[in-house]
Structure 1
Amino acid sequence: MAAEWRPVRQSRTHELVLESIEEQVLAGKLKAGDRLPPERELAPALGVSRSALREALRVLETVGVLVAHAGRGADAGARIVRHPDDALGRLLRLHFGLGSYSLEDVLEARVVLERSSFEAAARHAPPEDLAVAGEILDGLRRPGIGPEEFNDLDTRFHVQIARSSGNALTSTLTAAVRESVRPLILRALEAAEDWPATAAALNAQHAALLRLVREGDGEAAADLAEEHIRGFHGTLVDGSPQD
């Protein structure tokens, strides 16, 4: 079923281009992996300028549903993709920075999401997914690891558990919410009075969480995940009151 392009109204042109492309996706006429027609063909088909079309395509690239390749040949042009994790994290981080959400909002969202993901992982996680989580934990426990690398691996550990739960949306939301406070968590880790002791305490909880998931004890894993998140993330809330 081929996509069908027709001229759009001229007001708020780039938004109408977005609506037209969205219609094609929702109708099943555009799928991940499909390429859009070249700009020189798509712009006149929609009845818009190439600058308006490019503005719409840049928006789609920002939200993670399109990637554009410059140049000529088979790989040139814009292609529909599915890359929601980074895009949602970026947007949520900006809204958090602008004050759309408070630290308390993010904390409670993390608790809800990660209780669900740890409990589901205890029921559904494939052994190979938990093996990856174990490798990440090994990296977290590496002697001499610094706060920045620890923060990156910590994020990967929590997202990996969410992925192993079998719910792709929970995984994406967990990654986005955790990414939104990454800079704050890094600053808190860097400010720890006794960094090795802080890392060891957090890793003890990571190890216990992974053990409970492997044992299939979802309720205990969910309770410990909440304690783990409120314990460290909660210090950010206590130390940084929001308006």
Structure 2
Amino acid sequence: MPVEWQPVRQARTHELVLQSIEEQVFAGKLRAGDRLPPERELAPVFGVSRSALREALRVLETIGVLVAQPGRGHDSGARIVRNPDDALGRLLRLHFALGSYSLHDVMEARVALERSSFATAAEHASEEDLDAAADVVHRMSREDIGPEEFNELDTQFHVEVASSSGNALTSTLTAAVRESVRPLILRALEEVDDWPATRTRLNAQHAEMLRLVRTGHGEEAADLAELHIRGFHGTLVDDERTGGEGAE
């Protein structure tokens, strides 16, 4: 039987640098807080140009595992960090905008994540965690609050509850999924016919979800969270399916 040869993938130089740095992380030789050597020292170690090294470092910075601090001295250079929230949210927002995921996909992901976080928060959340969420609800109840600030606090509330569930990955994914549709939610809030009534209704649901979590009624909180998401987010899905202008 003749041998079937397959083309060898040609990796670009910066991808080889990325692979090498990843291997150091996987081996435990690079950890959060560690600082990389200066570019002038690191490029010769890898045997690459400084431009290829910079390209690799920019990729790592974009995905939230590296922060570059320009300048000279002890605090300059690139440092390994753990900052997945903003990076994942930015990535999902771009893919959503490009059509990789539909509004329905995002809604179903939110429902699954937040049902879990509200139910689990009722069992594990500390009073300190829930007080932080309550403060957000209080700030959202101001009569002079506009759609933009409300939208930011709305995201913060849901992330606070997810964080209080004790699962860091659930919190990160909740923030990322919510961030992916944040501009659309804002547009929808700005276009409602009766903003004060909409604000009051949505925040009353927030307050009731929080009360259910505080009193240990996790499944009821999860049910209301699903109703809350499907109620507002669902109208955007309907608009998408019918070709309407409304969007979250």
- Provide the TM-score with structure 2 as the length reference: 0.93
Which residue of structure 1 aligns with residue 3 of structure 2?
none
Is the CA contact (8 Å cut-off) linking 1:137 and 1:207 kept in structure 2? yes
How many Å separate the matches in 2 of 1:64 and 1:214? 33
- Aligned residue for 2:78, secondary structure, equals strand
Which residue of structure 2 aligns with residue 185 of structure 1?
185
Matched residue type, 1:192: V
1:29-48 to 2 correspondences below 5 Å:
29-48=29-48
- Aligned residue for 1:67, secondary structure, equals strand
Matched residue type, 1:160: E
- Alignment partner of 1:215 is 2:220: no
Which residue of structure 1 aligns with residue 17 of structure 2?
17
How many Å separate the matches in 1 of 2:86 and 2:104? 22
* Offset, 1:71: 0.7
* Offset, 1:30: 0.2
How many Å separate the matches in 2 of 1:92 and 1:215? 34
Is the CA contact (8 Å cut-off) linking 2:143 and 2:196 kept in structure 1? no
Which residue of structure 2 aligns with residue 4 of structure 1?
none
Which residue of structure 2 aligns with residue 7 of structure 1?
none
- Long gaps (5+) in structure 2: 1-9, 244-248
How many Å separate the matches in 2 of 1:126 and 1:242? 43
Matched residue type, 2:144: G
Cα deviation, 1:115-172, whole Å, max 9, x if unaligned, reads: 0000000000010010000000000001111000000000000000000000000000
Computed over aligned residues only, the root mean square deviation of the Cα atoms, in angstroms, reads 1.3
* Offset, 1:240: 1.6
- Long gaps (5+) in structure 1: 1-9
Which residue of structure 1 aligns with residue 56 of structure 2?
56
- Provide the TM-score with structure 1 as the length reference: 0.95
Which residue of structure 1 aligns with residue 100 of structure 2?
100
Q: Which moved more, 1:136-145 or 1:10-19?
A: 10-19
Matched residue type, 1:109: A
* Offset, 1:241: 2.5
- Alignment partner of 1:166 is 2:189: no
Matched residue type, 1:54: R
Cα deviation, 1:59-93, whole Å, max 9, x if unaligned, reads: 00000000001010001000000010000000000
Matched residue type, 2:40: R
Which residue of structure 2 aligns with residue 224 of structure 1?
224
How many Å separate the matches in 2 of 1:87 and 1:242? 32
Cα deviation, 1:96-125, whole Å, max 9, x if unaligned, reads: 000000000000000000000000000000
Aligned positions, number: 235
* Offset, 1:242: 8.7
Q: Is the alpha carbon distance of 1:135 and 1:16 closer, same or farther for their aligned partners in structure 2, counting shifts above 3 Å? A: same
Matched residue type, 1:211: R
Is the CA contact (8 Å cut-off) linking 1:103 and 1:242 kept in structure 2? no
Q: List, as ranges, runs of 4+ consecutive aligned residues in structure 1 with deviation greater than 6 Å.
A: none
